[in-house]
Amino acid sequence: MVASTETLDALKSIGLNLYERKIYVALLARGVATAAELSELANVPRSRSYDVLESLAEKGFAMVQPSKPIKYVALEPKEALERVKQNLEKNYETLVSRIEKMAGSKVLNELEQIHKQSLSLMTPADLIGTLKGRHTINRQLRTLFRDAKSKISIVTTEQGLNDLYSNHFRMLKKIARRGAKVKILAPLSNTSATNALSQVAELRHLPFPSGRIFLIDDKHVLFALTDDKDVHETQDVAFWANSNHAAKDIIKPYFESMWQSGSKHEK
């Protein structure tokens, strides 16, 4: 039996490469088979089939049968998925434990010192980057927001405002509590996002299209290069720069001009 494209794509989404997918489906069809038999059935190079089957066994999709020649047994798909889930949870817990241990050790101090030394060698042209995908953009914003010292100024769209609420509300709340000023300029309406953000930031309504621009501590600038209404989130692109000149002399005056043109939000 040949698996559908949908099924093969689903197996890909949980970490199986092409050869692993093909051999796993072939093994399910046979139940028990040797590497040579599965290689022929799945149209996978015989030299690769042994490594692939070892990988499937490690991940929990197959079991090795101690025989001559060695045979492999397919696990029931439901059981296989449960084993994969357990392995991922175990690996995740192990990795988190290692990260937490590293964060409190001299290893982190050494890495920080290496990084600080490199900053003195970097030019303004080095402190820029292009970010692709909304997940990547939001990850960079989380870092910038977390390290904000005094103020954050934001111009955003209606969708961007909802995204700001969904992904960064807790962080902005912490920032406001420690005394940093947060200003948000966006098309406002009576939504949960607007009402919640008004508790942690000063909001002003902007009735015309504005794009998405973020200014942090008059030092970091991040602005979107794509329209969030017209692109899929995976194709969203933004530009980031750590530049006092760009922040203070270009983006800050622009934001202040836009801020003056906005109307105050009535809570």
Any idea where the domains of the chain sit in the sequence? Answer: 5-80, 124-264
116-150: pLDDT as tens digits: 776 565 555 545 789 999 999 999 999 999 989 99
Whether 5-80 and 124-264 share one fold: the answer is: no
Question: Residue 210 — pLDDT band, cuts 50, 70, 90?
Answer: confident
Would you say residue 173 has pLDDT above 60? yes
| The three-state (H, E, C) secondary structure of the chain, written as one string | CCCCHHHHHHHHHCCCCHHHHHHHHHHHHHCEEEHHHHHHHHCCCHHHHHHHHHHHHHHCCEEEECCCCCEEEECCHHHHHHHHHHHHHHHHHHHHHHHHHHHCCHHHHHHHHHHHHHHCCCCHHHCEEEEECHHHHHHHHHHHHHCCCCEEEEECCHHHHHHHHHHHHHHHHHHHHCCCEEEEEECCCCCHHHHHHCCCCEEEECCCCCCCEEEECCCEEEEECCCCCCCCHHHCEEEEEECHHHHHHHHHHHHHHHHHHCEECCC
Return the pLDDT at 221. Answer: 93
* CATH code for residues 5-80: 1.10.10.10
Quick check: 198 and 265 in contact, CB under 8 A?
Answer: yes
> Can you tell me the mean pLDDT for 240-259?
90
Residue 183 pLDDT: 95
Q: Which amino acid is at 239?
A: F
CB distance 8 to 25 below 8 Å: yes
In whole angstroms, give the CA distance from residue 72 to residue 32: 6
At a CB cut-off of 8 Å and minimum separation 6, what does 11 contact?
A: 3, 20, 21, 24, 25
181 pLDDT band, cuts 50/70/90, is very high
Rounded CA gap, 55 and 76, in Å?
A: 17
Task: Categorize the per-residue pLDDT at 110 as very low, low, confident or very high, splitting at 50, 70 and 90.
Answer: confident
- Indicate the residue type of 111: L
Counting residues of the chain whose pLDDT is more than 90, the rounded percentage is 52
pLDDT of residue 67: 78
Strand partners, 239: 130, 223
Nearest to 202 by CA among 164, 160, 153: 153
pLDDT for position 120? 61
What does the pLDDT average to over 207-225? 90
Rounded CA-CA distance 209/2 in Å is 51
Q: Which band of pLDDT confidence, cut at 50, 70 and 90, is reported for residue 3?
A: confident
What is the CATH topology of the domain spanning 124-264?
Endonuclease; Chain A (3.30.870)
Strand pairing class (213-216; 151-155): antiparallel
Residue 127, pLDDT score: 58
Q: How far apart are CA 61 and CA 73, in angstroms?
A: 9
Tell me: pLDDT of 190 over 80: yes
Spatial distance between the Cα atoms of 222 and 240, rounded to a whole number of angstroms: 4
